[in-house]
Each structure stands twice: as structure tokens, then as C-alpha cells.
């Protein structure tokens, strides 16, 4: 194991082991067009799978025989479990039913183009092989194997970008002390041990990049006061030096406050995209990349008692709403301790996949709507063969069969159903475009009508 890590460091062209000045510093001369090229796959992807998995799936919301309120992955905090008691869960963690190929296939069949999985959540337990600690799946569990690397391989076989979540706040690392009862219980750093923890994180990033080479590092747990925006800039620079094409969210620094809800351009925070959570902003923001991360029920990490599932219709319409505002949708699943994805999640993902099979063109690579309001549903758009193609996602089928669309600059040259391609007649009148629709909506969740407009 130690030899393997050292050999990988050499294979990484020494950029990992030479002083940081020798690491690739080309990234910080990135032009706008180079940044656009780096972000292109992420912007085209539009839809990703979030996975919260770890020791917290064992108690699954219950501790000492009592249900513990709150999101499942916070049970160590919510039940006030001492470190030495919680870490005993590691010996019980043996996900015998874990099937990375099946997980990657479920994501692919749902139409998801990237996957972000917890490498280390706030509890500090590592799901990947690392020499930085024995509190990892290889050294501390009967399972004894890296969980992320095989999933990365199965994702890549299916054209899915593999990405990892990483929590800065760490309830297990000795350099941090668990917080008081403040909101989110931020940890405190022990005197003189911040550099030790910053170095620990950097060593873990090297292990992560060497073993599963994530396309995105998705930070979280950035709110403790001891961690600063400057620290975020240092970590961002370090990661871009190791892997110039990597994408990093705004929680590597303190940007979440500025970007939650996308209420301001992400100009003065480090990170490549904004991260509104459990919400869909009222509008996007031109030139700002952002992603809404949301659960399918109420919890991120598995809880055996959380059956409050959103319907497939809601999940599909969330995706459409988000993309119509120029964002990405990161939809969460919380696997069980045995390594199974809950059936309720699998069913909903399959339903989303069926919709995406017929209508994915209106999502992948699509941009924000040109319209302020569309009471009947949502609109996305993309350039197509020298024209602008508008995708009208109809949630409320119009009475009387005419879909009224605000006029856009240029001339409407064609209208049709996206699924099946049936041509539709249309007329421009009083500044609107009226499209004659069939009497019944072919897809009650969202039927997509295509309008091709030629700029004059
Ligand atoms: O505290 C975490 C929480 O457990 C979960 O990981 C979410 C997902 O984005 N992030 C934090 C809360 O904002």
C-alpha cells in the first residue's frame, strides 16, 4: 500500500511531490474561453447523481433504540455520540451488497451524466484508500477495500463523469473540536493545529486524485469560523495545480453564503459554480454557473424511517425548472449500510430516465429560458443549425388547444412535438405565437413542444 502510493506520486509526473511552485501553475492564467472549455462538459451535463454514503447508514436515524431527529448523516452530532463510540461503527461496516456496476447503470439509465459521492463526510470516515489515516474503509472495516475506485471505473465505462464530495469540517480528526450548540455546530480548531489539518486535507486530495481521479471536487462543511475564504483560495490553487482541468464548487471557500439562491454573481468567491441547496432559485444569473443539490426524500444519508419521497413528476419538473434557469440538478440518493440503493429511489430514477430517453435533447446542453414567465410550464433553449431552438415544457395543457408563447426576436420557422416529431401549425398574433396542440397532453408530467426561430 505505501509503495503503491509512492509509485503513483511518481507517475503523476512528480507534480504532487515537488514544491508547489513546480506544480502546474498554468491554470491561473486561464482565459475566459479556456474556462468555458473546462466547464463545457459540466454545463452540457445538466443532471447528476449525489450519493451520501458512510457509517451513518448503519444507525440509519436511530441510536440507543430512539429515533434521532434530523438528516441521517448528522446522527453523530444530533445524538451527541462521542468519537470513540461512533468510530466503533467502522467495524460493523461491511457493504456486502455493494455493486458499483449496478449503481453506475442506475445513474446512466436515469440520464445522469455525472456522479458525486461522499469521499469523507463530517464524521471524518474515508470511503477511499488513504495512508493519511486508519479511519478509512480499508484499515477500519471488515470490508477492507476502496469503495470509490471501482465506482469511478464503472462510471467511466458508461460515460459518466466521476466526482467526489469532501467535508472540510471533520468531527474525528484530532486537530478539530466538536462545536457547541450553535447552528450547524461548527468545529473549532485546536491551538496551533490548523496547518496540520490543512496539510492532512492536501495529502488526502493527492490520494483521491491518484486513486479515483475525480472530475469535480465538491466541498462542504466550509462554515466553521477557523476556515477562511483565503484558505479556500489556497486549496483551490493546490487542486488546480495538481489537476488543471478539475472543477471545484464554491464551498471550497465561503461562497455558499454569496451564492445560495444565486443572489449575486460569484465574482468575489473562489470556486467554479454556486451551490443552492434544497432550493431552486427564482432565477439564474447570466454568466454564473450554479447547481441545485436536493434530496429525493428529507435526508441525504440513509434513514430507515424517511418515507417522505418526492414524486417522479416533481423530480422531473424540478430538473426542467432548474435547467430553464441555467442551472444543473444534483439529485441525491442515500444507500443502505449493506450497499443497496433504496427501491423508492430506484423507481423514481427509472421514471426520470424514461422521460429523459424521450426528451433529453431539451435538457443536455440547454440554456436558460429567454422568457420571464411562462405560466404553462418552462422553456429551455439551444442554438440549432443557425437557428434558436426553444423547448417548451408544458406542465399545464392549455384549454382550447392553443399554446400561447411570448414573441421572440426573429421569425418562427417550425413547430413540432419533440417526442415523435409531429408537425404543429402556428400563427403569430398580437406579439405572441399561438401553437395548435393536440387535445390531450401526450405526457402529463411535461410534454415538450419545439419552436425553431430564425434570427433576422
Ligand atoms: O451538513 C451537510 C449535509 O449533511 C449535506 O451533506 C448537505 C448536502 O449539500 N451539505 C451540508 C449542509 O449544507
Centre of ligand 1 to C-alpha 420, Å, is 41
DSSP 257: H
Flag whether pLDDT at 3 surpasses 80.
Answer: no
pLDDT at 18 over 70: no
300 Cβ inside 6 Å of ligand 1? yes
The CATH number assigned to the domain with range 8-362 reads: 3.20.20.80
How far is CA 185 from its chain centroid? 24
Question: 168-182, 237-251, 361-375: lowest mean pLDDT where?
Answer: 168-182
- For the CA of 332, the closest atom of ligand 1 is 8
Q: What is the pLDDT of residues 133-153, one digit of tens each?
A: 999 999 999 999 999 999 999
pLDDT digits (tens, 9 = 90+) for 403-415: 999 988 899 999 9
Q: Calculate ∠ Cα 277-162-156, nearest 5°.
A: 145
Ligand 1 atom closest to Cα of residue 121:
6
Tell me: pLDDT of 263 over 90. no
pLDDT over threshold 50, residue 128: yes
Ligand 1 centroid – CA 387 distance (Å):
41
47 C-alpha to center of ligand 1: Å? 19
Q: What pLDDT score does 256 carry? A: 82
Contact between 330 and 50 under an 8 Å Cβ cutoff? The reply is: yes
Q: Is the pLDDT of residue 396 over 70?
A: yes
Residue 184, pLDDT > 70, answer no
Residue 314 vs residues 129, 321, 396: alpha-carbon distances, Å:
38, 10, 14
Lowest mean pLDDT among 18-32, 69-83, 179-193: 18-32
Kindly report the pTM of this predicted structure.
0.93
Can you give the pLDDT at residue 21?
Answer: 37
Measured CA to CA, the distance from residue 400 to residue 442 in angstroms comes to 16
Tens digits of residue pLDDT in 37-47: 999 999 999 99
CA of 436 to the centre of ligand 1 (A): 45
Q: Looking at the predicted structure, is the pLDDT value of residue 280 above 70? A: yes
Could you tell which of 54, 71, 75, 168 is best to mutate to test the pocket of ligand 1, judged by most ligand atoms within 8 Å of the CB? 71
- Give the strand pairing for 47-51 and 328-333: parallel
Q: What is the pLDDT of residue 182?
A: 53
Pocket test for ligand 1, best of 50, 184, 220, 306 (most atoms within 8 A of CB): 220
Q: Which residues pair with 377 in a beta bridge?
A: 394
**279 φ, ψ (degrees, to nearest 5):** -155, 155
Is the CB–ligand 1 distance for residue 213 below 6 Å?
Answer: no
Separation of 251 CA from ligand 1 center, angstroms?
11
- Tell me how far apart the terminal alpha carbons of the chain are, to the nearest angstrom: 64
Give one DSSP letter per residue of 361-421, joined into a string.
Answer: GGTTT-B--S-S--TTEEEEEEEETTEEEEEEEESSPPGGGEEEEE--SSEEEEEEETTT-
Largest CA distance in the chain: 74
Name the residue at shortest CA distance from atom 1 of ligand 1: 221
Residue 71 CB–ligand 1 contact under 6 Å: yes
**125: CB partners within 8 A, 6+ apart:** 54, 55, 87, 90, 135, 136, 137, 140, 172
Tell me the domain boundaries of the chain: 8-362, 377-454
User: In whole numbers, what is the pLDDT of the chain averaged over residues?
Assistant: 91
Q: What is the dihedral of CA 132, 134, 136, 141, to 10 degrees?
A: 160
Q: What is the DSSP string of 294-324?
A: E-SSS-SS--TT---PPPHHHHHHHHHHHHT
**Over 70: is that where the pLDDT of 6 sits?**
no
Of the chain, the percentage scoring pLDDT greater than 70 comes to 91
| Segment 10-18 mean pLDDT | 29
- Collect all residues with Cβ–Cβ distance below 8 Å to 267 and sequence separation of at least 6: none
Task: Using the predicted structure, report yes or no on whether residue 14 has a pLDDT greater than 60.
Answer: no
Q: Are 110 and 352 in contact (CB under 8 A)?
A: yes
Measured in angstroms, how far is the CA atom of residue 346 from the centroid of ligand 1?
A: 22
Fold of 377-454: Immunoglobulin-like (2.60.40)
**Could you identify the residue written with the cell 424514461?**
354
220 CA from centroid of ligand 1 (Å): 7
pLDDT at 25: 66
**Cα 161 to Cα 163: distance, rounded to the nearest angstrom:** 6
pLDDT at 10: 31
Instruction: From the CA of 73, give the closest atom in ligand 1.
Output: 4
Mutational pocket test of ligand 1: of 78, 276, 300, the residue with most ligand atoms within 8 Å of the beta carbon: 300
CA distance 350 to 341: 13
Query: What pLDDT score was predicted for residue 132?
Result: 98
Quick check: CB of 222 below 6 Å from ligand 1? Answer: no
Residue 73 beta carbon below 6 angstroms from any ligand 1 atom: yes
| Ligand 1 atom 10: residue of nearest CA | 220
183, 277, 278, best to mutate for ligand 1 pocket (most atoms within 8 Å of CB): 277
pLDDT of 39: 96
Q: Would the pLDDT of 119 be above 50?
A: yes
Amino acid at each position: 500500500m505505501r509503495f503503491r502510493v509512492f509509485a503513483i506520486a511518481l507517475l503523476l509526473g512528480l507534480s504532487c511531490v515537488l514544491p508547489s511552485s513546480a506544480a502546474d501553475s498554468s491554470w491561473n492564467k486561464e482565459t475566459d474561453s479556456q474556462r468555458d472549455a473546462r466547464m463545457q462538459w459540466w454545463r452540457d451535463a445538466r443532471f447528476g447523481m449525489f450519493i451520501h454514503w458512510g457509517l451513518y447508514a448503519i444507525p440509519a436515524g436511530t441510536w440507543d433504540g430512539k429515533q434521532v431527529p434530523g438528516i441521517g448523516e448528522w446522527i453523530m452530532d444530533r445524538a451527541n455520540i462521542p468519537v470513540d463510540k461512533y468510530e466503533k461503527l467502522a467495524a460493523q461496516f461491511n457493504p456486502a451488497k455493494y455493486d458499483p456496476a449496478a449503481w453506475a447503470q442506475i445513474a446512466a439509465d436515469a440520464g445522469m451524466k455525472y456522479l458525486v459521492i461522499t469521499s469523507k463526510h463530517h464524521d471524518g470516515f474515508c470511503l477511499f484508500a488513504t495512508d493519511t489515516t486508519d479511519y478509512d474503509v480499508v484499515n477500519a472495516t471488515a470490508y477492507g477495500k476502496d469503495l470509490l475506485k471501482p465506482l469511478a471505473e464503472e462510471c467511466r465505462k458508461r460515460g459518466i463523469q466521476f466526482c467526489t464530495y469532501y467535508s472540510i469540517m471533520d468531527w474525528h480528526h484530532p486537530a478539530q473540536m466538536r462545536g457547541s450548540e450553535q447552528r450547524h455546530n461548527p468545529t473549532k480548531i485546536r491551538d496551533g493545529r490548523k496547518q496540520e489539518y490543512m496539510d492532512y486535507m492536501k495529502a488526502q486530495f493527492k490520494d483521491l486524485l491518484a486513486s479515483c481521479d475525480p472530475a469535480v471536487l465538491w466541498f462542504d462543511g466550509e462554515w466553521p469560523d477557523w476556515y477562511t475564504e483565503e484558505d479556500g483560495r489556497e486549496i483551490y490553487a493546490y487542486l488546480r495545480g495538481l489537476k488543471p482541468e478539475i472543477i471545484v464548487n464554491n464551498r471550497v471557500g465561503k461562497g455558499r453564503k454569496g451564492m445560495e439562491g444565486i443572489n449575486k454573481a460569484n465574482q468575489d468567491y473562489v470556486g467554479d459554480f454556486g451551490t443552492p441547496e434544497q432550493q431552486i432559485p427564482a432565477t439564474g444569473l447570466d454568466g454564473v454557473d450554479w447547481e441545485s443539490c436536493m434530496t429525493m426524500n428529507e435526508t441525504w444519508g440513509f434513514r430507515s424511517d424517511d418515507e417522505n419521497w418526492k414524486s417522479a413528476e416533481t423530480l422531473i419538473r424540478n430538473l426542467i425548472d432548474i435547467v430553464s434557469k441555467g442551472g444543473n440538478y444534483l439529485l441525491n440518493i442515500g444507500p443502505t449500510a449493506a450497499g443497496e440503493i433504496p427501491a423508492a429511489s430506484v423507481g423514481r430514477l427509472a421514471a426520470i430516465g424514461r422521460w429523459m430517453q424521450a426528451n433529453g435533447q431539451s435538457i443536455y446542453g440547454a440554456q436558460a429560458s429567454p422568457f420571464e414567465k411562462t405560466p404553462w410550464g418552462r422553456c429551455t433553449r439551444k442554438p440549432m443549425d443557425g437557428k434558436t431552438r426553444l423547448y417548451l415544457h408544458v406542465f399545464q395543457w392549455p384549454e382550447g388547444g392553443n399554446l400561447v408563447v411570448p414573441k421572440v426576436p426573429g421569425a418562427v420557422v417550425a413547430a413540432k412535438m419533440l417526442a415523435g416529431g409531429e408537425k404543429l401549425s402556428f400563427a403569430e398574433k398580437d406579439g405572441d405565437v399561438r401553437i395548435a396542440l393536440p387535445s390531450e397532453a401526450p405526457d402529463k408530467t411535461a410534454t415538450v413542444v419545439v419552436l425553431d426561430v430564425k434570427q433576422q
